[in-house]
A and B are shown apart, each in its own frame.
Chain A
Amino acid sequence: QVQLVQSGAEVKKPGASVRVSCKASGDSFTTYAIHWVRQAPGQSLEWMGWISAGSGKTTYSQKFQGRITITRDTSASTAYMELSSLRSEDTAMYYCALIDLWGQGTMVTVSS
């Protein structure tokens, strides 16, 4: 049974960067397309980008281009999402997801 386990909650100041990790269990990591989706409090879901865990190829939403970097470490079966130049509007729950399975979410709070 595949599981996606994310890193813990973060509190950051405006202008800082945050990196969230997503560790996949099982032995099929390189077959995964791992998406990153965020959800601001009380809002809908917003797709940020994805990575092919096998090739490392990434695609980002234009909205986050220049601020987001998604990487993966195949030896650790872990994907990472880094978001820079944080502002208060980036306060949200951040999820990694396969098309049929989501991580538990990582709350990122941006506050001075």
Chain B
Amino acid sequence: DTVMTQTPLSLSVTPGQPASISCKSSQSLLHSDGKSYLYWYLQKPGQSPQILIYEASSRFSGVPDRFSGSGSGTDFTLKISRVEAEDVGVYYCMQGIHLPRTFGQGTKVEIK
């Protein structure tokens, strides 16, 4: 199975400050179509996960532009340019090219 490794596992951020989460996969997520099939989700407390980023760097409709994704192949990053109180929760990366689909362990983001 493709192992997804997220770092850090927890993050405490002052509002207005940036945050960054890394996700590394044990196999390349680069498809022959040139896209890397890496997704980022946020699970707010008590809620289902919601998509933020698809195909490594495309922001889903309605997602604030303070969220951005980058990377290709095996190394990926989610950045929040200015963290807001509503961004608290657990962030997961997921690979969408190999079976079984696999998720990172999650990164818990809290506000200082």
Cα distance A102–B49 in the bound complex, in angstroms: 7
Q: Which residues of chain A have C-beta atoms less than 8 A from B100's C-beta?
A: 47, 49, 61-63
- Encoded as 1 (CB less than 8 Å from any B CB) or 0, chain A from 41 to 68 comes to 0001111010000000001011100000
A104-B60 in contact (CB<8A): no
What's the A-B contact tally at a CB cutoff of 8 Å? 39
The yes or no answer to B51 lying at the interface (CB within 8 A) is: yes
Instruction: List which B44-89 residues lie within 8 A (CB) of chain A.
Output: 48-51, 54, 60
The yes or no answer to B102 lying at the interface (CB within 8 A) is: yes
B105-A99 in contact (CB<8A): no
Cα distance A104–B105 in the bound complex, in angstroms: 21
B101-A47 in contact (CB<8A): yes
> How many chain B residues have a CB neighbour from A under 8 Å?
18
A44-B50 in contact (CB<8A): no
Shortest CB-to-CB span from B8 to chain A, Å, is 15
Whose C-beta in chain A lies nearest to the C-beta of B49? A102
A59-B105 in contact (CB<8A): no
Q: Of A59, A99, A100, A104, which one neighbours B48 at CB under 8 angstroms?
A: A104
Shortest CB-to-CB span from A19 to chain B, Å, is 20
Q: Which residues of chain B have C-beta atoms less than 8 A from A45's C-beta?
A: 49, 92, 94, 103, 106
**23 A-B Cβ contacts within 8 A?**
A35-B101, A44-B92, A44-B104, A44-B105, A45-B92, A46-B103, A47-B100, A47-B101, A59-B99, A61-B99, A61-B100, A95-B48, A97-B49, A99-B39, A99-B51, A100-B51, A100-B54, A100-B60, A102-B48, A102-B49, A103-B48, A104-B48, A105-B48
- B interface residues (Cβ-Cβ under 8 A, vs A): 39, 48-51, 54, 60, 92, 94, 96, 99-106
